A and B are shown apart, each in its own frame.
Chain A
Amino acid sequence: MAEAAIELIGINKSFGAVRANRDIHLTVEKGTIHGIVGENGAGKSTLMSILYGFYQADSGEIRVNGKPTRIDTPNDAIAAGIGMVHQHFMLVHNFTVLENVILGVEGEALLRASIAKARSELQRLEREYGLTVDPDAIIETLPVGLQQRVEILKALYRGAETLILDEPTGVLTPAEADHLFRILRQLKEQGKTVVLITHKLREIMAVTDNVSVMRQGTMVDTRKTAETTVGELAELMVGRRVLLRVDKGEARPGDFKLVVEGLTVKDTRGVTMVNDVSFGVRAGEIVGIAGVAGNGQSELIEAIAGIRHAVSGRVLLDGKPIEVTGNADPGELREHGLAHVPEDRHHVGLVLAFEENENSILGYHDEAQYLKGAFLDIPAIRRDAAEKIEKYDIRPADCRLKTANFSGGNQQKIVLAREMEQDPGVLIVGQPTRGVDVGAIEFIHKRLIDMRDRGKAVLLVSVELDEIRSLSDRILVMFDGRIVGERGPDATEGELGLLMAGVESKEAAE
Chain B
Amino acid sequence: MNSYMVLIQIADATVRVSVPLLLAALAGLYSERSGIFDIGLEGKMLAGAFAAGAAAYVSGSAWVGLGVAIIVSIAMSLVHGVASISYRGNQIVSGVAINFIASGSTVILGQAWFQQGGRTPSVSGAARFGDIALPGANAIRPIPIVGPIYSNVISGHSIIVYFAFLMVPFTWWVLFRTRFGLRLRAVGENPAAVDTAGISVAWLRYRAVICTGILTGVAGAYLSIAQQASFVKDMSAGRGFIALAALIFAKWKPVPVMLACLLFGFLDAISIRYQGIALPGIGKLPAQLMQALPYVLTCVLLAGFIGKAIPPRAGGVPYVKER
Residues on A close to B: CB < 8 A? 15, 46, 52, 54-55, 73-75, 78, 84, 86, 88, 90-95, 99-100, 102-112, 114
Contact = CB atoms under 8 A, between A and B. Distances in A.
Contacts of B192: 88, 90
A103 B189 contact: no
Residue from A15, A46, A75, A90 whose CB has the most chain B CB atoms within 10 Å:
A90
Interface in B164-190: 177-183, 185-186, 189-190
A54 B321 contact: yes
Contact of B178 (A84, A91, A110): A110
Interface of B: 177-183, 185-186, 189-190, 192-199, 313, 321, 323
7 contacts: A15-B323, A54-B196, A84-B196, A103-B193, A105-B197, A111-B177, A111-B181
A95 B193 CA distance: 12
B196 A95 contact: no
Contacts of B195: 54, 74
Contact of A74 (B181, B182, B189, B196): B196
Given A54-B195, A100-B193, A103-B194, 9 more contacts: A15-B323, A54-B196, A90-B192, A103-B186, A103-B193, A104-B199, A106-B179, A110-B178, A111-B179
Do most interface residues of chain A lie in helix, strand or loop, or is the interface mixed? loop
A91 B181 CA distance: 16
A316 to B, nearest CB: 36
A163 to B, nearest CB: 14
Contacts of A90: 190, 192-193, 196-197
Contacts of A55: 321
A78 B181 CA distance: 23
A94 B189 contact: yes
Residue from B198, B199, B313 whose CB has the most chain A CB atoms within 10 Å:
B198
Contacts of B186: 92, 95, 99, 103
A110 B323 contact: no
Nearest to B188: A92
B198 A104 contact: yes
Contact of A109 (B179, B189, B193, B198): B179
Contact of A75 (B177, B185, B198, B313): B198
Contacts of B183: 103-104
B194 A104 contact: yes
B145 to A, nearest CB: 40
A281 B323 CA distance: 40
Nearest to B173: A110
A109 B178 contact: yes
Contacts of B179: 106-111, 114
Residue from A52, A91, A112, A114 whose CB has the most chain B CB atoms within 10 Å:
A91
B198 A93 contact: no
A37 B171 CA distance: 48
Contacts of A54: 195-196, 321
Contact of A106 (B182, B185, B193): B182
